[in-house]
């Protein structure tokens, strides 16, 4: 059995060996990745500033370990018989931990920059992939190697704790080792936080791929709380359908499983925001373990696999709602406190006449209008030139003449735009044009909506999301998808002739609308859906609307998977 002295020697030897391996990784980051990317940046392929921001102070960290700490450890191991201690050496490491603080603090930004420039610059991507093929990389990505300095400090902490357990308290090395552990443990907590963020980012990337790379979820501010299978009870007949939930700190993704030969794949049916969400425990004799998720976007009645599973989901959802509300309250209080002594915001009467005070970028994490979180890729920060608020591109896609700027056209938010030009939301919709009405807007308040196959004259058949809104029950809107913000086409149905004869045996559930030279052919997935559409269209072509539109509302949960994507 090993003595404590032999164990201490073994720990010191492990420290030396892991330090050698660590220095070789630092050389790879500093001498290969950093050097080659900087060399290419100096040729003008991409900004050198970006490369410096990615690698932060890696050169300083490398110099310290390769020129000081590693030589000191090598020398100490050679003198171990006369000087069996490492606490005094590691205590010298303490003043240099500030370098790690800077690296760890920059880590999230560095990861985002690597992702951005890999997508933006082919040359940047080529150099990284070329280096990653080299044997020295060990089939690991640049991001994995960049995590090494973040992981190193917790490694020192672990070895020191083990060393102290084997060290007598009367040892000459006790005070140095104990002081070193105290300082290193503080730094390790910051590193562990960065490691958790990196692991969360990896998980987000995995989910991003599972969702077909269509949902914008890869953002350091997003955190996965819980995921798992669930059953959804249909609104009409309470039949249970298999679904999958991803719960994040700011939203719930309600998904439908997709057939896949490789790994799990899902399509997002609805994104429900945590803001305003309520959880209600329901009781259904036929279907036990049920609960209801009620959000601004949608209400879902769900069935868990067991009572325990139900309680876990309810607890996770309620905790997430509480944490979200607490963050928002803290954010509001902080903003209120900071600005209580400052001049009030520009009043509606002064909008455009007086220059506003701009809210600083780092004072907000989400759009001040729609509350969606900002990120560096798809939802960047913009300032409204009228009120000074920080908003996303969707909420700032307006321009108005501002008196304080010589009546020049300036980018403003939607609210300020309406105040300055003096028009309401409804008036604005009229000005946008008939095709620019969003699909979700009309689908959520429609007489009927579903996917149909569509063909105009002799053009190829294509799948279209078709909607007849309650407000315009004589007009058929066609979209490419249920969430599209602009219609592909509209058909005013009044005066059209309806022919419900199938076009061919291949399309048994088809029908045709004709008027003069206009011919529009449609095909439903089944006869029941076809008849529902014909019932509404027969009224519309005569200028009539359904007496009871709710009865004609299509319950898409009853449709086969192939014909539904959105519930009206």
Does residue 454 surpass a pLDDT of 70?
yes
Same domain, residue pair 398 and 464: no
**Domain range for residue 491?**
439-553
Question: Which of 430, 463, 498 corresponds to the end of one domain?
Answer: 430
**340 inside domain:** no
Residue 66: CATH number of its domain: 1.20.900.10
Nearest Cα residue to 446 out of 330, 549, 328: 549
Same domain, residue pair 193 and 264: no
Give the whole-angstrom CA distance, residue 186 versus residue 180: 10
Residue 380: CATH number of its domain: 3.30.40.10
**475 inside domain:** yes
**290 inside domain:** yes
Question: Which of 396, 430, 464 corresponds to the end of one domain?
Answer: 430
Does residue 425 surpass a pLDDT of 80?
no
Same domain, residue pair 141 and 31: yes
pLDDT at 408: 86
Paired with 81 in beta bridges are: none
Same domain, residue pair 445 and 540: yes
* Percentage of the chain modeled with pLDDT above 90: 32
Does residue 546 surpass a pLDDT of 80?
no
Give the whole-angstrom CA distance, residue 31 versus residue 58: 10
pLDDT interval class at 376 (50, 70, 90): low
Domain count, the chain: 4
Does residue 104 surpass a pLDDT of 60?
yes
Got the DSSP string for 375-388? -SSSS--EE-TTT-
Helix or strand (DSSP H, E) at 353: none
Judge whether 231 and 243 are in contact, CB under 8 Å. Answer: yes
Judge whether 448 and 533 are in contact, CB under 8 Å. Answer: yes
Question: Which of 384, 404, 430 corresponds to the end of one domain?
Answer: 430
Provide the mean pLDDT of the chain: 82
Same domain, residue pair 405 and 500: no
**566 inside domain:** no
**202 inside domain:** yes
Same domain, residue pair 451 and 395: no
Residue that has been written with the tokens 């509302």 in this structure:
553
Same domain, residue pair 375 and 278: no
Residue 306: CATH number of its domain: 2.30.29.30
**332 inside domain:** no
Does residue 329 surpass a pLDDT of 50?
yes
203-249 per-position pLDDT tens digit: 887 888 888 877 777 776 788 999 999 998 876 565 788 999 999 99
pLDDT at 71: 94
**203 inside domain:** yes
Same domain, residue pair 474 and 390: no
Same domain, residue pair 37 and 107: yes
Phi, psi at 555, each rounded to 5°: -90, 95
Pair of tokens at residue 497: 């002739």
pLDDT at 336: 56
pLDDT interval class at 409 (50, 70, 90): confident
pLDDT at 332: 64
Nearest Cα residue to 479 out of 491, 497, 495: 491
Same domain, residue pair 301 and 425: no
Mean pLDDT of the region 9-33: 95
Give the whole-angstrom CA distance, residue 443 versus residue 147: 46
83-100 per-position pLDDT tens digit: 999 998 988 776 777 778
Same domain, residue pair 115 and 249: no
Does residue 338 surpass a pLDDT of 70?
no
Judge whether 99 and 60 are in contact, CB under 8 Å. Answer: yes
Pair of tokens at residue 116: 């951005």
Does residue 176 surpass a pLDDT of 70?
yes
**527 inside domain:** yes
| Burial environment of residue 184 by CB neighbours within 10 A (0 to 12, 13 to 18, 19 or more) | buried
pLDDT interval class at 20 (50, 70, 90): very high
Longest dimension (CA), the chain: 104
> First vs last Cα of the chain: how many Å apart?
73
Same domain, residue pair 278 and 385: no
Q: Is the pTM of this model over 0.75?
A: no
Mean pLDDT of the region 341-357: 69
pLDDT at 341: 47
């Amino acid at each position: 059995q090993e003595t404590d002295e032999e164990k201490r020697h073994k720990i010191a030897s492990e420290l030396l060996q892991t330090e050698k391996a660590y220095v070789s990784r630092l050389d790879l980051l500093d001498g290969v990745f950093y050097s080659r990317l900087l060399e290419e940046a100096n040729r003008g392929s991409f900004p050198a500033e970006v490369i410096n921001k990615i690698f932060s102070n890696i050169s300083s960290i490398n110099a310290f370990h390769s020129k000081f700490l590693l030589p000191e450890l090598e020398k100490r191991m050679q003198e171990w018989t006369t000087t069996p201690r490492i606490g005094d050496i590691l205590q010298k490491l303490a003043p240099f931990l500030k370098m790690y603080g800077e690296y760890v603090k920059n880590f999230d930004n560095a990861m985002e920059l690597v992702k951005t420039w890999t997508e933006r610059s082919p040359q940047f991507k080529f150099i990284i992939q070329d280096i990653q093929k080299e044997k020295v990389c060990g089939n690991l990505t640049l991001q994995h190697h960049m995590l090494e300095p973040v992981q190193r400090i917790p490694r020192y902490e672990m070895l020191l704790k083990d060393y102290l357990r084997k060290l007598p308290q009367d040892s000459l090395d006790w005070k140095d080792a104990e002081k070193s552990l105290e300082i290193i443990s503080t730094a390790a907590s910051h590193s562990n936080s960065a490691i958790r963020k990196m692991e969360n980012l990896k998980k987000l990337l995995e989910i991003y791929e599972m969702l077909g790379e269509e949902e914008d979820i890869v953002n350091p501010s997003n955190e996965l709380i819980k995921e798992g299978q669930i059953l959804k009870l249909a609104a009409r007949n309470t039949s249970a359908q298999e679904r999958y939930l991803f719960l994040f700190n700011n939203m719930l993704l309600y998904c439908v499983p997709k057939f896949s030969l490789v790994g799990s794949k899902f399509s997002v049916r609805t994104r429900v925001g945590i803001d305003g969400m309520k959880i209600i425990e329901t009781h259904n004799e036929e279907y036990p373990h049920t609960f209801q998720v009620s959000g601004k976007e949608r209400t879902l009645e769900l069935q868990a696999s067991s009572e325990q599973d139900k309680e876990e989901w309810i607890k996770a959802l309620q905790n997430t709602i509480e944490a979200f509300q607490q963050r928002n309250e803290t954010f509001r209080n902080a903003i209120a406190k900071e600005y209580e002594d400052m001049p009030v915001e520009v009043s509606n009467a002064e909008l455009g006449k007086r220059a506003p005070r701009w809210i600083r970028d780092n004072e907000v994490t989400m759009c001040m209008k729609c509350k969606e979180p900002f990120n560096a890729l798809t939802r960047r920060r913009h300032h409204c030139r009228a009120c000074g608020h920080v908003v996303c591109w969707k909420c700032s896609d307006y321009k108005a003449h501002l008196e304080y700027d010589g009546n020049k056209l300036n980018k403003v938010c939607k609210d300020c735009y309406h105040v300055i030009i003096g028009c309401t939301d409804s008036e604005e919709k009229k000005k946008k044009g008939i095709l620019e009405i969003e699909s979700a807007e009309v689908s959520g308040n429609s007489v009927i909506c579903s996917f149909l196959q569509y063909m105009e004259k002799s053009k190829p058949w294509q799948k279209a999301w078709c909607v007849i809104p309650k407000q315009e029950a004589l007009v058929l809107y066609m979209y490419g998808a249920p969430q599209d913000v602009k219609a592909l086409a509209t058909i005013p149905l009044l005066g059209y002739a309806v022919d419900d004869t199938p076009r061919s045996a291949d399309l048994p559930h088809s029908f045709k609308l004709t008027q003069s030279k206009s011919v529009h052919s449609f095909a439903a997935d089944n006869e029941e859906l076809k008849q529902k559409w014909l019932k509404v269209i027969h009224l519309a072509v005569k200028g009539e609307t359904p007496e009871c539109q709710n009865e004609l509302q299509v319950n898409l949960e009853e449709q086969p998977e192939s014909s539904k994507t959105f519930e009206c």
